[in-house]
Amino acid sequence: MAGNTRQTISGLLRDYGEKAKQAAVESLLENAETVAEEARRLCPVDSGKLQASIHTEPKGENKVRVIADAKNKDYYYGRITEYSPSGKAFMRPALEAKRAEIKQHTLDKIRAAINQN
């Protein structure tokens, strides 16, 4: 009986781990879009090209990045705007502004996945 119980618990933990991992990956994609939306809101607008180029891009299985399109010839403007002492940062402040919301969203998503069934 004890061996069977151990196998059942081990199976449950494995199932919970897979559910939690899948929920975390889904949350990652959603959270990246939340940061992108905030970056678009905070981005200084002149022509609107930089703002329009902000998007999410999956990078591997468990990573997503929020970028101002590197293929866009106006990309250098985004880097100058973000990192120049005279520029107005928008990417890092977007992440910082949404940090607590992202954390809570991820926890809620994982809890909901584990509590199914």
Per-10-residue mean pLDDT, the chain, length 117: 54 72 88 96 88 89 81 70 85 95 90 81
How far apart (Å, rounded) are the C-alpha atoms in residues 40 and 52? 7
Hunting for tokens 């905070």 — which residue is that?
42
Name the residue among 88, 33, 43 with its Cα closest to residue 66: 33
**Is 91 in contact with 50 (CB distance < 8 Å)?**
no
**CA 69 distance to own-chain centroid:** 17
Rounded Cα–Cα distance for residues 109 and 92 (Å): 24
- Residue 25 CB neighbours (<10 A): 15
pLDDT at 100: 94
| Residue 1 confidence (pLDDT) | 43
Give CA–CA dist 24/38, Å, rounded: 21
